[in-house]
Chains A and B, each alone.
Chain A
Amino acid sequence: MSDGIRQEIDLRGLTCPEPVIRTKKLFDKAYVVAVEALVDDNVCVNNLQRLARTLKVSCEVEDKNGYFAIKLERGGSKTSTASQSSHTHPLPISVKIGTTPTEVVTVLFITKDYLGEGDPDFSKTLCDLFLQTVFASGHRPRAILLVNSGVRLLAKDSSALKVLNDFRDAGVEVLACGLCVDFYKLKQDIATEQITNMFAICEYLFAADKIIQP
């Protein structure tokens, strides 16, 4: 990948979370494709590895005898298929993890796998369209909470799965109610880390400034 900037950053002498924040800020810029960070403690190494997993960039650690050189690169070996698109299209600038002080915390609360009342098939298509439109407009809610038949949107054969994965890759938490997942027998389809409980769902709803329930 030659059409992007590779950056080096010396973070030695800094303690966490400073190295994580500085590295993350570099990756917030779409034109940065690789970062080599120098850190001098194990905690920073571990935390940068976690950051790399979340950003879906590859991460190589080299022990330089006294300090560590960590190479993080977009589209590296550990990149999942879901974010392969970052090979050709740089991540949109709006992809940002964490919060800015002015940000309004919005949560999408989806309680069924269709939108509105009417023809069943049409209502399902409309639901997909809604999610795709939210994504395309650049809105990034803090979380998308799926309950009742809403969890079906995460099923393997769901037409909304792609857009929900896009949200997830953009840092939005896409979470399904565990009880509902069990009820609709979708345990095999949905990753454990996307399954949550009613307690956590309530936490998100009460912590939100704005709740959108289509």
Chain B
Amino acid sequence: MNNQDEICSTTPPHEMKLTAHVKAGGCAAKISPSQLAEIVRGLPEFDVPNLLTTIQSFEDAAVYKISEELALVQTIDFFPPVVDDPYLFGRIAAVNAISDIYAMGAKPIMALGVLCFPVCDYPLSVAQKILQGGADALKEAGAALVGGHSIQSAEPIYGLAVSGLIHPQQILTNGGAKSGDALVLTKRIGSGALLLAHKAELLVGASLQTLLCSLTLLNKSALEIAIPFKPHAATDVTGFGLIGHVHEMSKASGLKCVLHAQNVPFFPEALSYAEQGFVPAGAYANRNAYESIAYINDDVSLSYADLMFDPQTSGGLLLALEPPKAADLVKALIETGLVGAIIGEMIDGNAGHVEVQAR
């Protein structure tokens, strides 16, 4: 945690505004779920015997079984800057990419960097700092940076293709949740709205610090704490927003999910910025995409609903497990200084439907 404190203790200098020309940074830059479904539709199915995941299952990462004891987990994630400080941006992008490995219950081993960089607009030291941030995150994750690819482009983009390992019996998929399971979330929600406020230079002090600490925090500890509680299913909350990822989990598990808005841990000030109209385009795209499966009760106020569709960058893990274990997990997370909250439960019902209750 020492590294974390160091990163978050100072407000970064703003010599060169990395976010200035970026339309949508972080996971808000994601292609909308409905557009993505259209893009991947019609792709051939790959009948590979040892492949344990398919594109259609919307898993966090692909899993290839090498032997009865070992499976390879692969994922890639990259996006335009969310913050102006290049080191922090690199670190956030890397933490976000590595998160998909943790979301499968796996351990990252190595990664390739992906860098698109406008070499004429920024000094090369900016690119160097981005890579440094990514490399430091990998070091902390216990994985090696083993290469990468870089091109010139109009907008800076950075991310990682990460490989991990896991025992095939221990994979945590989207689809393992059981009826009656409680849902535990390990990071706060609302980073999309707050990053908009940050872009507008409105977010300062403790609220900004809480946000940056969360964005740069690996899901490593959260997963390590969760594993002994034997979660049935896991995913991480990123661009499709809380409702989107809860939907993917409940659909894959053949269950319905009930979320309690009051129990969702939101970032300080996120509700207030959402109320004032700091809602990213991605949140509206998510709302449209999930309109048919999301049932928001009338007493849930607009800002809560907006944040539950808000695209998350470097979000937390979402874990489904038996209620008593969920309560113990939350306790263990909080004792370690992490965020933990039971935000809903899986019930029998229309697969993939998400009902949002106020309390």
Contacts and interface: CB of A to CB of B under 8 A. Distances in A.
Contacts of B265: 199-200, 203
Interface in B190-241: 196-197, 199-207, 210
A113 interface: no
A99 B201 CA distance: 9
B278 A17 contact: yes
A26 to B, nearest CB: 14
A196 B280 contact: no
A21 B268 contact: no
B278 A209 contact: no
Nearest to B272: A173
B281 A16 contact: yes
Contact of B280 (A16, A98, A178): A16
A21 B203 CA distance: 13
Contacts of A207: 205-207, 210, 268-269
Interface residues of A, number: 41
Interface in B233-289: 262-263, 265-266, 268-269, 271-281, 284
Interface in A160-214: 171, 173, 178, 192-193, 195-197, 199-200, 203-204, 206-209
A48 interface: yes
B341 interface: yes
A125 interface: no
B152 interface: no
A197 B263 contact: yes
B23 interface: yes
A197 B117 CA distance: 44
A145 interface: no
B276 A54 contact: yes
B280 A200 contact: no
Contacts of A80: none
B358 A192 contact: yes
B278 A20 contact: yes
Contacts of A21: 200, 202
A43 interface: yes
B358 A199 contact: no
A209 B205 contact: yes
Most buried by A among B204, B205, B276: B276
Given A101-B204, A208-B206, A209-B205, A50 B262 contact: no
Contacts, number: 106
A105 B202 CA distance: 13
Nearest to B285: A43
Contacts of B276: 20, 24, 50-51, 54, 97-98
A68 B178 CA distance: 47
A49 B274 CA distance: 11
B16 interface: no
Given A192-B299, A197-B263, A199-B265, A54 B275 contact: yes
A198 to B, nearest CB: 11
Interface string A2-38: 0000000000000111101100100000000000000
B284 A206 contact: no
Contacts of A99: 202-205
Contact of A192 (B263, B281, B301): B301
B157 to A, nearest CB: 18
A191 B276 CA distance: 19
Most buried by A among B205, B273, B274: B205
Most buried by B among A18, A192, A208: A192
A199 B330 CA distance: 12
Contacts of B300: 192
A16 B201 CA distance: 13
Contacts of A53: 275, 302
A47 B278 contact: yes
Nearest to B266: A200
B170 interface: no
B270 to A, nearest CB: 10
5 contacts: A43-B279, A47-B277, A99-B205, A101-B204, A178-B262
Give 5 closest A-B pairs by Cβ, nearest first. A47-B277, A51-B277, A207-B206, A50-B277, A193-B301
